[in-house]
Each structure stands twice: as C-alpha cells, then as structure tokens.
Amino acid sequence: MTIYDFEAKLITGEKKALRDYEGQVLLIVNTATKCGFSPQLKGLEKLHERYKDKGFEVLGFPCNQFANQEPGSNEEVAKSCKLDYGVSFPLFEKIDVNGENAHPLYKFLTQQARGVLSERIKWNFTKFLIDREGQVVKRFAPTAKPEKIESHVKDLL
C-alpha cells in the first residue's frame, strides 16, 4: 500500500486521487491558519516554488482538531492561505487527522511513521515526507521549519 491508494477532496470540493501525484516527492502537512506555526505556510510555499519544477509538491490538509485553530469554512481557509501567506500549493478540505473520524490517508501516514510516543498527530504542522514511490520516508514535528526540511527534500529529488 502507498499514498497512491487514497483520494481526498480538494478545498474546492473536487475529488482528487493521490495517484495523480505518482512519481513526485511530496510533503503532506496538516495546517491551521490561526496557529502559532502558521508562518510556516510561507516557508512551505517557498519550498513548493523552489522545487515544483523538479517534481516536488506540498499538499496542505487544514485541520481544526487542535485548539480550534482552523475554525473557518473551506472557502475562508483557502482565502486566508492565499491572501495572508501566498499559498499556491494544493489545499484539501478540512479533515480530522486523529480519532475515529480521521481521514484514511492520515490513518495510513501515522501507521507508517509513528510520532515520539504514539502514532497520534500531536499538533498542527506535523509533516510527512513521501518519496517518488508513494512511501512515507520521514515524519517531522510541528516545530520543524520548512527550511530545515529542505535538505531532505533535495535528497529525494
């Protein structure tokens, strides 16, 4: 099983097969625009812009499971990401990343790359680096800034 076995809805409501990203290096991130880590959206956009022509993509999955830090509608989230942070990478509809309603993709990601003490996502901006074969290579804590992840991305490209 790989991430290509999943689909998710883009923030615009369209279904998107993750198989469409086959052969690319991906960084999958659960985001929140009202979080103290929200400035990372600018860093994620810089990574996306720098490497998108080399086969790299950031995929953002807004989530409101942590201290109500993504309370808006999908439309509000998209607008904030674009206007406040310049995000052009793909954003998906708001999802749960933990619990019984967790998106199947996130159930898979957390099984493939456990956190420090458990599989659970502990906070916004947990990042999963995926290789060109759709396999989870590494999990990064919310505190890991995009510029610190860049060397790992370059290694896979």
CB proximity list for 73: less than 8 A, separation 6 or greater = none
Asked if pLDDT for residue 110 goes beyond 90, the answer is yes
Catalytic site includes residue 35: yes
Q: How far apart are CA 48 and CA 52, in angstroms?
A: 5
Q: How far apart are CA 116 and CA 120, in angstroms?
A: 9
In this structure, the strands spanning 56-62 and 25-31 are parallel
**Quick one: CA dihedral 141, 145, 151, 154, positive or negative?**
positive
Domain covering 3-156: architecture: 3-Layer(aba) Sandwich (3.40)
Average pLDDT score over residue span 95-115: 92
Position 117 confidence tier, pLDDT thresholds 50, 70, 90 = low
Position 115 confidence tier, pLDDT thresholds 50, 70, 90 = low
Asked if pLDDT for residue 89 goes beyond 70, the answer is yes
Asked if pLDDT for residue 116 goes beyond 70, the answer is no
Q: How far apart are CA 111 and CA 45, in angstroms?
A: 27
* Domain boundaries along the sequence of the chain: 3-156
Question: In this structure, what token pair is assigned to residue 27?
Answer: 């960084």
Asked if pLDDT for residue 12 goes beyond 90, the answer is yes
Position 118 confidence tier, pLDDT thresholds 50, 70, 90 = low
Q: How far apart are CA 21 and CA 8, in angstroms?
A: 12
- What pLDDT does 114 receive? 72
| pLDDT per position as a tens digit, 68-82 | 999 999 999 999 999
Q: How far apart are CA 146 and CA 140, in angstroms?
A: 10
In this structure, the strands spanning 127-130 and 136-140 are antiparallel
The one catalytic residue in 8, 18, 35, 87 is: 35
Position 38 confidence tier, pLDDT thresholds 50, 70, 90 = very high
What 3-state DSSP class applies to 130? Answer: strand
